[in-house]
């Protein structure tokens, strides 16, 4: 994970200080016995553990921590091959938090010297450096920029020697602050400020935070699906822009609008140090830039072949841009941009931006992140997705969906999300339809009963209609309906746009269902009543109300269940079992119900009715005619709709109608013929998650995949990528889309 280590002027002393700083200034806990290959480090952030591991590799092996000391086994410090344990007495720990952006440790060396080691964000450290030594500052600054632009996360290391009387004086204040009851945090910060100054720069570290496999591909697919992607990251602007380039979010053909706080006027104001003035200056410049860019954006959008736009804004400016007065223009500008990158943002700002889009633009938002700092954003969005990775489980705990890698977002949205949307729409509209159809027949009957409210159907029919006769098929559709297969869903991400436009659940769709349920109820009611006025068999006997209503109900159960099969895009055997089973259930029910008389005093209206009905030819003729006439309207509509106004998914269905579908055999082959890249990511995805928290640097555990395979009873040969670097499983991507 440690990719670059910058030591200015390769002097031995500086290198020692550098490594010692890494080994001492941290809040890591070692676990396991003291041998260097068995130890694991417990750290709040993986970066910290990585830095301590780096120190270990440089010969400063931190192996034990007591409440007041840190023990480091230093190798090769005096001469090559020498190893001796050194105990540093830890006097104070000034902990990291997001406002301080740094962390310090005051320790007493074995020689008795008091030293403060500090590591933190470059901006914070540079503010607190002692004068002089401009060479090292300049070179380190250059390095920082280099590292930043190659997408690495950087930290600066610094130290300061303390005289004992200065320390004693400060320590009193520190203890006071520490034991204060009110505003302890704030006071601690203030006290820390007193000692963390006049630092001497040692160097900087850079940590590569590798993008996960397939992220650029995934992002490109998602943007083809009509999803706009916003990156909200705590990284520096350079890093963020680089990542955005790497993910295809920004490219050189795009017009970039950058709103940064790193401009001269702002820096000048900051130098003067008046917080009120700083705020005013930043706010003014943010307002100016927003207005200017908005104008420019509208001009560019007016020209038909103008470039795509992207907005990059940093946290400090965002703080002012999110102000009530500027919020509207920020939203307007960012909605015109095809990608937005917000860098250096705090967790709170992430949530603010998310709810800005959610409430301001009234779009559906999805937040995805892996770290604890993404939790608020995940909770603010409509849909929260957590990536279970190295940075702990907080994001996963707070999320609605947890996935293992960023790229699985494609699968989650384009396949399962889209299917769910289609299924939900179908289930809701169908429920509406089947109840409307049923109830309307009752409604038409009311007009012929002198408005007395007599029920058309037997009580039990009404009660069981939604419970048995039409219940299961719609559940099956809600579970299994697929318009196109998963692979085609991913191949045509544009299909997802139907969901964004909410094509399948508009008033129009509901109105069409309602129209056809009115039509069907009219057909069913009037056809049964009109055709049943006279005698229906050769013995001249006449039907009564309950015969007619049972006939109607039989037609309804048949019609409604067959209508569901007509609405399905794919019919599994469960569809057939449930739909025809429901119809069968109705007949079984009515055979039993018509055959019994209860001893209770109730109206035995249905007694023998179905047998009377089924003894006539009329029953069979009507049963053939009425459902078919009812469904003819829907069928005609479906035919015309498909022929003349086809939905996208229908065209895609037709394109792939004659494709040899991926059969099960092929699927198995895919499992064995992975490209090395795919195989590696597959193995990463299969790594056990419980142990992942404790490992920091590299994950040297060969044969993981074969281990799993052997557990499942399948032989799998060792593969080169079995040694998987844990680093590649990690992501540093938080995006929010609308």
Within positions 270 to 309, which residues make up the interface with another protein, using CB under 8 A?
301, 308
Structure tokens at 271: 């130098």
CB of 693 to another protein, least distance (A): 23
Q: How far, in Å, CA of 170 to CA of 186, rounded?
A: 16
Which letter, b or e, does each residue of 711-731 get, where b requires 16 or more Cβ atoms within 10 Å of its Cβ? Answer: eeeeeeeebebbebbbbbbbb
Check residue 449 for interaction with another protein (CB under 8 A).
yes
Within positions 462 to 501, which residues make up the interface with another protein, using CB under 8 A?
479-480, 482, 485-487, 494, 497-498
Check residue 657 for interaction with another protein (CB under 8 A).
yes
CB of 538 to another protein, least distance (A): 5
Among 272, 275, 452, 467, binds another protein (CB under 8 A): 452
CB of 357 to another protein, least distance (A): 16
Decide: 377 and 347 in contact? Cβ < 8 Å: yes
Check residue 81 for interaction with another protein (CB under 8 A).
no
Q: Which stretch binds another protein (CB under 8 A): 17-25, 113-121, 369-377, 451-459?
A: 451-459
Check residue 13 for interaction with another protein (CB under 8 A).
no
Q: How far is CA 491 from CA 218, 222, 496, in A?
A: 12, 11, 11
Check residue 553 for interaction with another protein (CB under 8 A).
no
CB of 226 to another protein, least distance (A): 7
Q: How far, in Å, CA of 48 to CA of 22, rounded?
A: 9
Q: How far, in Å, CA of 277 to CA of 267, rounded?
A: 12
Q: How far is CA 447 from CA 60, 440, 450, 452, in A?
A: 93, 11, 6, 9
Check residue 267 for interaction with another protein (CB under 8 A).
no
Among 303, 603, 690, 715, binds another protein (CB under 8 A): 603
Q: Of 62, 161, 155, 158, which is closest to residue 107 (Cα–Cα)?
A: 161
The secondary structure of residue 247, as a DSSP letter, is: T
Complex with another protein: residue 328 or 651, whichever CB lies closer: 651
Within positions 622 to 651, which residues make up the interface with another protein, using CB under 8 A?
622, 624-625, 628-629, 632, 635-636, 638-639, 642-644, 646, 648, 651
Complex with another protein: residue 105 or 579, whichever CB lies closer: 579
Please report which residue ranges of 196-323 form alpha helices under DSSP H.
215-224, 237-246, 264-272, 275-302, 315-321
Among 78, 165, 601, 690, binds another protein (CB under 8 A): 601
- CB count, 10 Å around CB of 676? 10
Q: In which element (H, E) is residue 71 found?
A: strand 69-75
Check residue 542 for interaction with another protein (CB under 8 A).
yes
Identify the sign of the CA torsion 281, 286, 287, 293.
positive
CB of 379 to another protein, least distance (A): 29
Decide: 369 and 386 in contact? Cβ < 8 Å: yes
Complex with another protein: residue 38 or 600, whichever CB lies closer: 600
Check residue 548 for interaction with another protein (CB under 8 A).
yes
Q: How far, in Å, CA of 171 to CA of 173, rounded?
A: 5
Q: How far, in Å, CA of 42 to CA of 26, rounded?
A: 11
Among 545, 577, 698, 723, binds another protein (CB under 8 A): 545
Q: Which stretch binds another protein (CB under 8 A): 125-133, 247-255, 533-541, 690-698?
A: 533-541
Among 10, 67, 112, 540, binds another protein (CB under 8 A): 540
Check residue 677 for interaction with another protein (CB under 8 A).
no
Among 95, 270, 296, 411, binds another protein (CB under 8 A): 411
CB of 730 to another protein, least distance (A): 19
Q: How far, in Å, CA of 72 to CA of 86, rounded?
A: 5
Query: For another protein, what does the binding mask look like between residues 219 and 248, x meaning CB under 8 A?
Result: -----x-x----------------------
Check residue 533 for interaction with another protein (CB under 8 A).
yes
Among 412, 443, 662, 703, binds another protein (CB under 8 A): 662
Complex with another protein: residue 210 or 482, whichever CB lies closer: 482
CB of 96 to another protein, least distance (A): 37
Q: Which stretch binds another protein (CB under 8 A): 14-22, 153-161, 384-392, 534-542?
A: 534-542
Complex with another protein: residue 361 or 674, whichever CB lies closer: 674
Check residue 718 for interaction with another protein (CB under 8 A).
no
Check residue 597 for interaction with another protein (CB under 8 A).
yes
Q: Which residues share a beta bridge with 409?
A: none
Size of the site for another protein (CB under 8 A): 107
Decide: 580 and 472 in contact? Cβ < 8 Å: no
Complex with another protein: residue 111 or 452, whichever CB lies closer: 452
Q: How far is CA 201 from CA 8, 18, 111, 189, in A?
A: 10, 10, 22, 21
Please report which residue ranges of 5-133 form alpha helices under DSSP H.
12-24, 46-57, 122-127
Q: How far, in Å, CA of 50 to CA of 210, rounded?
A: 14
């Amino acid at each position: 994970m440690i990719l670059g280590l910058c030591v200015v002027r390769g002097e031995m002393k500086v290198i020692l200080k550098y490594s010692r700083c890494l080994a001492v200034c941290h809040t890591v806990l070692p676990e396991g016995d003291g041998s260097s290959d068995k130890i694991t480090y417990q750290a709040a952030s993986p970066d910290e553990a990585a830095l301590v591991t780096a120190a270990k590799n440089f010969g400063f092996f931190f192996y034990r921590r007591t409440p007041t000391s840190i023990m480091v086994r230093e190798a090769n410090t005096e001469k090559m091959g020498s190893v001796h344990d050194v105990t540093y007495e830890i006097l104070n720990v000034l902990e990291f938090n997001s406002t301080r952006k740094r962390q310090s440790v005051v320790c007493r060396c074995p020689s008795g010297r008091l030293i403060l080691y500090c590591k933190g964000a470059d901006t914070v450290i540079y503010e607190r450096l002692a004068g002089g030594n401009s060479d090292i500052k300049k070179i380190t600054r250059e390095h920082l920029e280099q590292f930043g632009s190659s997408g690495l996360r950087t930290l600066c290391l610094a130290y300061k020697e303390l005289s004992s009387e200065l320390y004693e004086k400060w320590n009193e204040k520190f203890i006071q602050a520490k034991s204060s009851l009110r505003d302890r945090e704030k006071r601690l910060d203030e006290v820390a400020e007193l000692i963390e100054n006049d630092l001497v720069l040692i160097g900087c570290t850079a940590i590569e935070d590798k993008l996960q496999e397939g992220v650029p591909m995934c992002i490109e697919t998602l943007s083809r699906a009509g999803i706009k992607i916003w990156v909200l990251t705590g990284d520096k602007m350079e890093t963020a822009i680089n990542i955005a380039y790497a993910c295809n979010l920004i490219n050189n053909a795009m017009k970039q609008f950058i709103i940064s706080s790193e401009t001269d006027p702002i820096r000048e104001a900051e130098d003067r140090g008046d917080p009120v003035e700083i705020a005013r200056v930043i706010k003014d410049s943010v307002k100016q830039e927003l207005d200017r860019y908005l104008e420019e954006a509208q001009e560019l959008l007016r020209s038909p072949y103008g470039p795509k736009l992207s907005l990059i804004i940093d946290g400090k400016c965002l703080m002012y841009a999110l102000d009530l007065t500027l919020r509207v223009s920020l939203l307007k500008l960012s909605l015109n941009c095809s990608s937005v990158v917000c860098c250096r943002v705090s967790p709170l700002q992430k949530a603010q931006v998310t709810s800005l889009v959610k409430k301001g633009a009234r779009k559906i938002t999805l937040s995805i992140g892996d770290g604890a700092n993404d939790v608020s954003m995940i909770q603010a969005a409509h849909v929260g997705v957590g990536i279970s990775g190295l940075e702990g489980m907080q994001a996963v705990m707070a999320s609605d969906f947890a996935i293992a890698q960023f790229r699985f977002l494609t699968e989650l949205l384009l396949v399962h999300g889209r299917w769910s949307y289609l299924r939900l729409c179908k289930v809701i509209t169908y429920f509406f339809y089947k109840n409307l159809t049923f109830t309307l027949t009752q409604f038409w009957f009311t007009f012929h009963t002198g408005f007395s409210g007599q029920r058309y159907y037997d009580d039990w029919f009404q009660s069981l209609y939604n419970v048995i006769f039409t219940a299961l098929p719609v559940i099956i559709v809600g579970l299994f309906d697929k318009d196109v297969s998963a692979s085609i869903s991913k191949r045509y991400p544009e299909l997802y746009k139907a969901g964004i436009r909410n094509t399948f659940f508009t008033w129009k769709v509901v109105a069409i269902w309602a129209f056809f349920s009115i039509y069907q109820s009219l057909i069913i009611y009037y056809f049964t009543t009109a055709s049943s006025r006279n005698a229906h068999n050769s013995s001249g006997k006449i039907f009564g109300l309950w015969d007619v209503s049972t006939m109607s109900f039989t037609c309804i159960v048949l019609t409604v269940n067959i209508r569901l099969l007509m609405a399905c895009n794919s019919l599994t055997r469960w569809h057939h079992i449930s739909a025809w089973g429901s119809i069968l259930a109705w007949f079984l029910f009515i055979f039993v119900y018509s055959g019994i008389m209860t001893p209770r005093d109730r109206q035995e209206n249905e007694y023998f009715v179905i047998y009377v009905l089924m003894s006539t030819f009329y029953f069979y003729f009507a049963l053939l005619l009425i459902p078919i006439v009812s469904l003819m309207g829907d069928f005609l509509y479906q035919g015309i709709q498909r022929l003349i106004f086809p939905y996208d998914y229908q065209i895609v269905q037709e394109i792939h109608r004659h494709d040899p579908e991926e059969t099960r055999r092929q699927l198995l082959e895919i499992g064995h013929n992975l490209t090395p890249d795919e195989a590696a990511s597959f193995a990463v995805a299969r790594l056990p998650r419980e142990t992942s928290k404790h490992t920091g640097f590299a994950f040297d555990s060969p044969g993981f995949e074969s281990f799993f395979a052997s557990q499942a009873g399948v032989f799998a040969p060792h593969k080169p990528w079995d040694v998987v670097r844990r680093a590649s499983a990690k992501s540093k991507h938080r995006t929010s889309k609308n």
